[in-house]
Chain A
Amino acid sequence: MSKSLSSYRYLLLRRLTQTVILVLFVLASSKVVNVLNGDFSFALFLDKLPLADPYAVLQMFFAGAKITIDVLIGAGIVFFFYALLAGRVFCSWVCPVNMVTDLAGFLRRKWKIGESGGSRNWPRSIRYWAFALGLILSLVFGMTAFEMISPIGIFHRGIIYGMELGWFVIVGLFLFDLLVLKNGFCGHICPLGGFYSATTRFSLLRVRHIKDACTLCMLCKDVCPEKQVLHLVGKKDGIVESGECTNCGRCVEVCDDDSLKFGIRSSKKFK
């Protein structure tokens, strides 16, 4: 029993952080407690500390907007927190769309959808093209291109400020991930995910693999939403180098052999 619970420890923690952040936004919006006011594009923590989505701010810049100091500082804080410390944790510990796509991924595994083949080989590099395209379109049309269509924005803004038709987008996204492409949106398409993938590979927090403890059960690759990052499993000791790893911890918690763990990049134990 405790064993099975421990194999969901990070998953539960992630659901907790994702939910708490959303609840804090809702509480500020409904004027109950003002801890985190705004949304994922821009927020004020305790009415003082600005936090901003660095990709959104980049789009503002390309769209020709004047960037205010608050927005610049906010984007800097968020950017460096992920890039230097935590890695691509926005995608797995913060973003609410992750809850939707994880559910789709879970049901896909459970119902064995798409295992008979089909169009499973969409390149994961779509997100980098989408990232660049978002900036180009911001430049061409003079507006924040991805923010206008972002399912992330539609979903979290909808929860905080209310939505009706927005639910169709979310259901569509869920069905896409469930029926069309495994880990489709978060693992292939999302330009914000692409942005964080490209910028967080040198973060301190990394997943670490110990080859000798590994029994090659491949449970980790089964649950990993970005399984290309686990290519070192069973082959060599070391850290997961790719920025595409979201530090979600699924591989760590399902590993029965203690061969995958969270660690700090610079520590000697990595060698």
Chain B
Amino acid sequence: MAKPGKSRREFILEIVRGAGATIVGGVIWGGILLDNAAGSLVLRPPGALESDSFLAHCLKCGLCVNACPYSTLRLADVGNGLANGTPHFEPRGIACEMCEDIPCTVACPSGALDLGLVSKLVDGHSRLDINSARMGIAKIDTDNCIAYWGLSCDVCYRVCPLMDVAIELEYVRNERTGVHAELRPVVNGDACTGCGKCEHACVTEEASIIVLPLEIAAGKVGSSYIKGWDVEDERRMKELDKPVTSSEAAEKTLDYLNTDDLFDE
């Protein structure tokens, strides 16, 4: 970039200036990127990779949007708090209709929507299976769900594409009247696809059942707990090389309680 006739001083100045501007630009630019990535309260199309990977893959071409027969999917605009240009849907507006041929995922050229995540093995062949989609999990606000008040409403249960699997009705005695039953909808997180039909159909003014992204709604147990009553899970216990709590650690804890260290700090 040094033009002939320029002194060494000018040349060095130019480099320093360029590097400085690049760093300043990089910091601002990086800040915008972090802001983009922070918008995690978003429902992606079926088969979407997990958030970080999704943002690396998605080209924002909109082919999934164009493939959707129900205009469910939209690309995020500037300023709506989501990663700019990425596809998403808002079930209270238009829910996912759970097409069996999953045209949106099929249309994705970049792999941001991964067919492998919405397929299952049938007789050794991989078949599309929209029911294995995990777009989110429906959560019920039991304070505002009128079925939990004891009123008769089972709209979410009936619109659920996996009725009696993803949403079940629980029969509970209505303690207030003493003579009636409550028919409470209960979401089964293992089966819920996050299509959002329940949220779309909910009769309360603001939906009392809403779909949240897995990353927000789903907890994680970790490896510390094992279901003793589950043969599969119990096997993990045997696979562990060493005991979960070492005696050394246990001694330390005891020492800690038995010495004055407890009151030191």
Contact = CB atoms under 8 A, between A and B. Distances in A.
B109 A42 contact: yes
A205 interface: no
Nearest to A154: B78
Interface in A103-124: 123
Nearest to A25: B62
Q: How large is the interface on A (under 10, 10 to 19, 20 to 34, 35 or more residues)?
A: 35 or more
A65 B57 CA distance: 5
Contact of A143 (B1, B55, B66): B55
Interface stretch (A78-86, A128-136, A196-204, A241-249): A128-136
Contact of B26 (A44, A137, A166): A137
A208 B205 CA distance: 68
B29 A137 contact: yes
A153 B154 CA distance: 44
B74 to A, nearest CB: 7
Nearest to A57: B59
A148 B22 contact: no
Interface stretch (B80-88, B89-97, B172-180, B252-260): B80-88
B106 interface: no
B158 to A, nearest CB: 31
A24 to B, nearest CB: 12
B139 interface: no
Interface in A20-67: 28-29, 31, 37-39, 41-44, 50, 52-53, 56-57, 60, 63-66
Q: How large is the interface on B (under 10, 10 to 19, 20 to 34, 35 or more residues)?
A: 35 or more
A265 interface: no
B40 interface: no
A44 B66 CA distance: 12
Nearest to B110: A71
Given A125-B18, A142-B55, A144-B56, A28 B33 contact: no
A163 B111 contact: no
A160 B65 CA distance: 11
A147 interface: yes
A112 B90 CA distance: 48
B19 to A, nearest CB: 9
B109 A50 contact: yes
Contacts of A164: 77, 79
A161 B62 contact: yes
Nearest to B14: A123
Nearest to B23: A133
B203 interface: no
Interface string A133-170: 10011001111110111000110011011111110110
3 shortest A-B CB distances, which residue pairs? A42-B61, A165-B79, A63-B56
Interface of B: 1, 18, 21-22, 25-26, 29-30, 32-34, 36-37, 52-53, 55-63, 65-66, 74-75, 77-80, 83-85, 109-111
